[in-house]
Structure 1
Amino acid sequence: MKKTIAVAMGGYSSEAEISLKSGEVVYKHLSANPKFDVYRAHILKEKWFVKTDAGEEFIIDKSNFSVRIKDITIHFDCVFNTIHGTPGEDGLFQGYLQTLKIPQTACDYYQAALTFNKRDCISVLKAHGIQTAKNVYINKGDDIDTQAIIDHVGLPCFVKANRAGSSYGISKVKKKEDILAALDHSFKEDDEVIIESFLDGREVSVGVINIGNETQALPITEIISENEFFDFEAKYLGKSKEITPANLSKAQTEEVQNLAVKIFKLLKLKGLTRSEFIFHNNEPHFLECNACPGLTEASILPQQAKAAGISLQDLFTSAIEVAIENFED
């Protein structure tokens, strides 16, 4: 019997447009699988609705996440979560679906909230001996001692919105007098900021996925940005090279893949994830973990799946099957 699947896309943050593109790719590949009846579920601030191939919109009943289309009420067996940012990456949507006893493909609500909060995630991983940059935490309204910040993290440093993705709200600061402007930029995205020391080295991204009953690290991608860092332009406007598989030694490859799997298991993640590292002084330092990564054809995780010989249809199908099989209501 066919499973009825909603591909949730959009969200309430600056990343909504990127999420819609990810969702369309997932929809296309899952729709090609005869096991599924697949629907686009647009989760937007203004309204939640299912959009048909003909462009018709049908409002989702938030009381039970059902939709009525042409006198037929549709309930979903599983939700493929492609929402970047809130509410799909920070745990709100996961908690809602958990309450309704509907499986979804991303990690559970607490793990989502933890990975989305860079400061909390780093704090947890540091306790397990994971190396990271030096950092300072600032909240909106705090008194700012720029000299104390520089004394701790040095220059250059990065000023980041704590709960944002796609490099929104991030600046590379080279001069002390630029810190306040960078903080203002970050506060446009979030009222919490993390300031990190600059890690000089090669940046890599490691996808870790559940496929079948296995947790698997994918081939590594090295990121070489034409800009100061892997910012929005570098990620989405072609201002970077993404080399998959990365030209690392066998020892480096195994070290960072094992570290990514360790983090996946420590944080009790599931589904499709991606963690970022910099080889600083030849040792991988953790930057952040993305529990709802981009899934367009050009996104990093699909590149890595292709390098591993995994088709996008198989990747997305497995995510659905694992979510349903392991769901605990």
Structure 2
Amino acid sequence: MKPMNIALLAGGFTGEYEVSINSAKNIAQNLDADKYKVYTILINRDSWVYEGGGESVMVDKNDFSITVAGERVKFDFAFITVHGTPGEDGKLQGYLDLMGIPYNTCDATTSAITMNKAYTKALVHGIHGLNTAKSIQLHQKDGHDTATIASALKFPLFIKPNNGGSSVGMSKVYNVAGLQEAIDRAFHEDPQILIEEFIKGREFSIGIARLNGKITVLPATEILTTKDFFDYEAKYTTGVTNEVTPADLPEEKNHQIAEIVTHVYLRLNCRGMVRVDFILLEDTQEFYFIEINTTPGQSANSLIPQQVRAMGMSVTDFYGQIIEGTK
């Protein structure tokens, strides 16, 4: 049978560009070459380019095709691994919908909504067993007063871009003196920011995917970092963070977590693979939702590949089932 032509979309417009490139390399290495012919396309603000076989080829956005060695290549499927805009916020999804090309992620609406941390928290509110930290959303164009914020929320506080990823622009502050600097840092990344009360407990991340038509919850990973919190450096600097997969949790707690994140997946109308980050509160072990990632990292040591291997499944089979289940 003729292999499917897969457009592997990587890059993007944010500081997560290199993270995306590493994800794409691992995906390309693990897609079954007998079933899929992979063309990695780098997405930049001014160009979409395929580089391979000594050629650098611009994508024709009119029909989402490329011409390689004089032959027109049209794609059967797009595998999006662009972290941040335009691959995680619904923009690429909307374009691919117009082109009639199936893809691996959530649809344009869900991608756009889940990119916004405050909107996502509002939507998952009310799911049995799920809690969220008290928070305030700020818009850069509106005035804000640090004294008012400090009186409304309890320190320590997390200040983060509302639409960012990989913890870029995120800060933890312990008093009002550090609040303005942290707000300015977050606004540098995004015109909307979220200020949340700190939730003390164990931090985890868990993948969910629809495999063979069934929602499958992967083994959870516990995040143990020597940093004060799981920021960009902690995520991508060797030795700073220890990731334990599968996490050391009782079976009853694993079952409860699986039920909660399955409800999150369904309520947000997710497709393909997503990852939910959460905290189990110290003492009570209550589940506190942090965020959902609809284009989670896929480098060899990223959390989803770790969890797939811990489940006893090959990453090659996993990616194949994602493609077959969403095309």
Query: Per the shorter chain, which TM-score range?
Result: over 0.9
CA deviation digits over 1:60-97, x for unaligned, max 9?
Answer: 00111100111101000000110100000000000000
| Residue 193 of structure 1: how far off its partner (Å) | 0.4
CA distance in 2, matches of 1:225, 1:43: 32
Q: What residue is the counterpart of 2:15 in the other structure?
A: 14
Q: Structure 1, residues 218-256: CA drift from partner, whole Å, max 9, x if none?
A: 001000111010011111102111000101111211111
Matched ranges for 1:1-329 at <5 A: 1-30=2-31, 32-52=32-52, 54-128=53-127, 130-238=130-238, 239-280=240-281, 281-324=284-327
Structure 2, gaps ≥5 residues long: none
Residues 77, 102 of structure 2: 8 Å contact kept: yes
Count of residue pairs the alignment pairs up: 322
State percent identity of aligned pairs: 35
Q: Tell me how far apart the structure 2 counterparts of residues 109 and 196 of structure 1 sit (CA, whole Å).
A: 27
How many Å apart are 1:167 and its aligned residue?
0.5
- Distance in 2, Cα, partners of 1:57 & 1:315: 30
Change (3 A) 1:75 1:120: same
Quick one: distance in 2 between partners of 1:141 and 1:46? 28
Q: Which amino acid in structure 2 is aligned with residue 89 of structure 1? A: E
TM-superposed deviation, 1:142:
2.3
Give 1:83's aligned amino acid. Answer: V
Gaps of at least 5 residues in structure 1 are 325-329
Structure 1: how far apart are the matches of 2:16 and 2:260? 28
Runs of 4+ off more than 3 Å: 127-130
Secondary structure of 2:132 counterpart = coil
The whole-number CA distance in structure 1 between the counterparts of 2:82 and 2:253 is 32
CA distance in structure 1 between the partners assigned to 2:315 and 2:51 by the alignment: 22
Task: Give the equivalent residue in structure 2 for 1:327.
Answer: none
State the Cα deviation string for residues 125-160 of structure 1 (Å, max 9, x = none).
114453100000111032222222122221100000
Shift of 1:25: 0.8
Structure 2 contact 127–260 (Cα < 8 Å) conserved: no
Alpha-carbon distance in 2 for matches of 1:135, 1:291: 22
CA distance in 1, matches of 2:314, 2:248: 23
- Asked whether the equivalents of residues 78 and 323 of structure 1 are also in contact (C-alpha less than 8 Å), the reply is no
RMSD over aligned CA atoms reads 1.1
Shift, 1:214, TM fit: 1.1
How far apart are the structure 1 equivalents of 2:11 and 2:74? 20
- 1:110 deviates by 0.3
- Name which of structure 1's ranges 39-48 and 126-135 shifts more when overlaid on structure 2: 126-135
Q: Report the Cα offset of residue 174 of structure 1.
A: 0.8
With the length of structure 1 as denominator, give the TM-score of the two structures.
Answer: 0.96
Counterpart Cα distance in 2 of 1:127 and 1:65 = 41
Partner SS state of residue 78, structure 2: strand
Whole-angstrom CA distance in 2 between matches of 1:152 and 1:277:
23
Determine if contact 1:134/1:152 at 8 Å carries over to the other structure: no
Query: TM-score, normalization: structure 2?
Result: 0.96
> Shift of the alpha carbon at 1:59?
0.5
Partner amino acid, structure 1, of 2:216: Q
Q: Measure the CA separation in 2 of the matches of 1:152 and 1:257.
A: 33
Query: 8 Å contact 2:127–2:264 — kept in the other structure?
Result: no
State the AA in 2 paired with 1:50: Y
